[in-house]
Amino acid sequence: MDESLYRRLGGYDAIVAFTTDLLRRLRADDKLGRFWAHRGADGIAREHQLLIDYLVHVTGGHMVYTGRDMRLSHAGMGIDAEDWRRFIAHVTSTAGALGVGAREGGEVLAFLDSIKADIMA
């Protein structure tokens, strides 16, 4: 039996490292940073933990995700094609910096592609 993507990515600590680096990059981006511009530290920390929970859950880890679905979470944000392109570039850069393997990186990108319509709705 094949190991879960969660295990192949390195488990909880690896997902925390990934999300921490990714959110740092996204918040610093001159276009994408607008999504966090008026958020307080507590809200950002909560969002970070929800992202961790979500990624652990969808990659096969034992975590319960209690947040909203992706369509509702991103409704009204005005995420456009350029935002999505920049987001994927940051995901790819983060994965590369953390040494995510090609197979696992491809699976992550395929998953993101599968939820793109909900996020850009």
pTM for the whole structure? 0.94
Mean pLDDT, range 61-85, rounded to an integer: 96
- What is 5-119's CATH number, 1.10.490.10, 1.10.260.30, 3.40.50.261, 2.40.50.140? 1.10.490.10
pLDDT tens track for 76-98: 999 999 999 999 999 999 999 99
pLDDT tens track for 11-57: 999 999 999 999 999 999 999 999 999 999 999 999 999 999 999 99
Domain regions of the chain by residue span: 5-119
Contacts of 81 (CB under 8 A, 6+ apart): 120
* Paired tokens of 114: 């599968």
Of 2 and 50, more confident: 50
